[in-house]
A and B are shown apart, each in its own frame.
Chain A
Amino acid sequence: MKILINNKQTETETKSLSELAAELNLPERGVAVAVSNKMVPRTEWEGTLLTEGANVVIIKAACGG
C-alpha cells in the first residue's frame, strides 16, 4: 500500500508503526513519530495500525529517510 512519510509517497507492506519503524531502521533514540498528525509514543507503536494513505511524520536525528 501507499502511505505518506513526511509528505513523500512511500510503498510499504508493513501493517503497524512498529513494523514500519523496523523497516526504516529507526534508531532506538532521537526519533519522534506522528500518525494523522498525532504524536505516537514509542510504547504505542505496536498498537498503531497503518492503512492506505496514512500520513506519517517522522522527526529523526540521523539524516536521510
Chain B
Amino acid sequence: MIQFISHYTEQYSYLDSIRLALLGGCRWIQLRVKGASDEDVLPMALEAQKMCKEHGATFIIDDRVDMVKAIGADGVHLGKNDMPVAEARRILGKDFIIGGTANTFEDVRKHYQDGANYIGCGPFRFTTTKEKLSPILGLEGYMDIVLKMKEEKIDIPIVAIGGITADDIPAIMQTGVTGIAISGTVLRAESPVDEMKRLLEIVNNSSK
C-alpha cells in the first residue's frame, strides 16, 4: 500500500497532486500543507476530501487535529513537532485514524502505547521535502524496527517514508514494512498518473 502525501511544484498545486495520485490508483491520501493557516487549508481539505470520497480513498490530514474532527476526515498524521498522539486521541476519540511519525523503535512503541493506528517511519534517506530531518534509517534501520515490533507484538501498519523512489521500493518492502509513503517522486515524473500506477504495481509485486 502507498500513502501519497500532497506536494506542489511549479507545475502542480497541492490539490492537483492529490487528483493525480487518485487517478493513478492511490487510495490513501495525506493532505500536508506546511506553513499555511487553517483558513487557507480548510477549502483545500474540503475539496481533497470530496475527491477522496469519489475514489473511495482514505483521507488523512497532516497535523490539524481540530480540522480533522470538524470536517470528519478519516484521520490525522502527526509529525515529530506536532501535537502528541495521546492528546490527539483524547480530542478525536476512537473513531479517527491517527498516524505518527517515528524515527526510532522507541518512537514507534510510544506512539503505539499512546493509541496511534499506523506509523510513518523514516527518513529512508535525505530528502528535500522536509526541512527538519532526523537521522536517516536506510534498509537496516527498517529491518531492526520491524523485528523489534514483532518481538513486542506491536501489530499496527508501518509505512516507510523519506526520499523513496521506485528503485528503492522492492528492497524496502523486503524489510517487512507494510507500505510506502510517497511525495515528491510522483510529481517529478513526466506523467505523475503513470508513475503512481507504476509505483503501486511495484509495491504490489514486492510484498514480503
Contact = CB atoms under 8 A, between A and B. Distances in A.
Contact of B97 (A30, A37, A39): A30
B84 interface: no
A24 interface: no
A6 interface: yes
Nearest to A32: B58
B48 to A, nearest CB: 16
Interface residues of B, number: 30
B155 A37 contact: no
Contacts of A37: 1, 179, 203-204, 207
A59 B57 contact: no
A29 B111 CA distance: 21
Interface string B41-78: 00000000000000111100000000000001011000
8 contacts: A7-B150, A30-B74, A32-B27, A32-B58, A39-B2, A41-B55, A55-B207, A57-B178
Interface of A: 6-8, 27, 29-32, 34, 36-44, 55, 57, 59-63
Interface of B: 1-2, 26-28, 55-58, 72, 74-75, 94-98, 115, 117-118, 150, 155-157, 178-179, 200, 203-204, 207
